Amino acid sequence: MQIDIIGVPIDLGAGRRGVDMGPSAIRYAHLQDELETMGYQVEDRGNVEVAIAEMCKISEPKLKYIDCIVPMARRTAGAVSTSIAAGHFPVVMGGDHSIAIGSVAGAARRRKIGVLWVDAHADFNTPETTPSGNIHGMPLAALCGMGDERLVHLWPGGTAALNPRRVAVIGARDLDEGEKANLRRAGVMIQGMEQLDRFGIVAAMEKALAQISQDVDGIYLSFDMDALDPRHASGVGTPVTGGLTYREAHLICEMTAETGRLIGLDMVEVNPILDTQNATAQLAVELTVSALGRRIWNG
């Protein structure tokens, strides 16, 4: 299998600068070398073109930088769609989580997919519920058909990318009140930290994977590094205490790989400005290779 590495250096969707350097940090942590060591053929496709913040304006406070984010999402969708159409596996590096508006939509253009969304946040706000106007808090809602039309349908005449009943959020622990109402209305499965504490990561993942695997062609993994506890991943823009442990994060990726149905993944929200010795980017590489089949012991 050929893996296509696709960088999306954007921080316009976030409330803090710096995650636009995430793709460079992950590359510097030897992502390509690690994947090639596993026997994969790897092609670095470079970065999707993204306007810098100084070129963009906030014309709509509830949808900050939307005029620059939508073109990025379209280009990202095109890159991912092209990769999957060629029979390749896209690894999309962020950048803030607004990139998933494009990456997941691009995958959904080629396959009927279920989505595993690993995140401290559900990213299920709309312009009506957002407390910040930051679009990185809206991508999953848009992919499920809720929110501003420009985010829901990147091209005129399109349909929502995802069936919300085939989406599971793992590791959530910071949800806005309006966002909770949106999630209930949509029917998205939430396996938050409370469920992980009560039932354990294996039971939560088994339930989530069973839900998102029904009547789909494949699974897409969208992994936000702030899902981990800040003790393990300090270099993220929106850290929230009480998150996944190092081993829980790896087991999520390992169990996803074991399904044999993964068709693409995002690794997002690495902020090297806030990191220590690039440790969060290094962990992002470790999790990526776990999702692609590396094990501690393969006996």
Which residues are part of the catalytic machinery? 97, 119, 121, 123, 136, 224, 226, 269
DSSP letters, 142-162, are HHTT-S-HHHH-SSTT---S-
**Helix, strand, coil percentages, rounded to 5, for the chain:** 45, 15, 40
Contacts of 87 (CB under 8 A, 6+ apart): 1, 2
Q: How far is Cα 271 from Cα 253, in angstroms, rounded to an integer?
A: 21
Q: Residue 135 and residue 202: Cα distance in Å, rounded?
A: 31
Least Cα distance to 240 among 218, 219, 224, 253 occurs for 224
In which residue are the tokens 């709309």 written?
126
Calpha distance 70→154 (Å, rounded): 7
Beta-bridge partners for 93: 7, 267
Backbone angles phi, psi at 191, to 5 degrees: -110, 80
Alpha-carbon distance 71 to 102, whole Å? 9
Peptide bond into 260 cis (omega under 30): no
CA dist., res. 19 & res. 118, Å (int)? 17
